[in-house]
Structure 1
């Protein structure tokens, strides 16, 4: 039982530090309102203490399961929203394809933070 705690602590610290780094990177880009998948949204909202508000979208960028509908409303009403997806995830591939085929109504600058693409409207 003790081995689980001893070996698990460094991994938990790494995950925490990475999440804090992700939040700092998004804040440096002045991104308060974003769309992403369920787990990314929940982690960003919680870990940023609601400094980043996120609405969940599915793989085709349609409204996903938002546990707290007020977040969705805030993001939809925001003047500037971005998308954040894990590299090579289904929604990441979908949005890249939409941009390449010029099927997106907006133009995006695609930025990288470790493990993620950040799609910032131009």
Structure 2
């Protein structure tokens, strides 16, 4: 696996979807703090290890690459969650992570050509 590979971001997304589904909450302030410190993956995995069906202990996926991806959004979101992503509740930090993952999906889809 390449050190800068975002391999595993889809599985991380599924883990976060599961957390939201079972009612887990994170404050936007806390999530943004972990974006800034570039330890979001480790934070989530250590806190919710029992709810993650896959290991994010840096043995399979590059936590460094994943954290770097999320870290690039540090500072450009603060206070703009509603306007940018439609997130209105201060405890919907997990939804913010999903919104950030959707950015890479959008970028990838811009290069796809669908034919009939």
Q: Work out whether the TM-score is over 0.5.
A: no
* Structure number with larger C-alpha Rg: 1
Smaller-chain TM-score range?
Answer: under 0.3
TM-score by length of 1: 0.22
TM-score normalised by structure 2 residue count = 0.23
Ranked by relative contact order (alpha carbons within 8 Å, sequence separation 6 or more), the top structure is 2
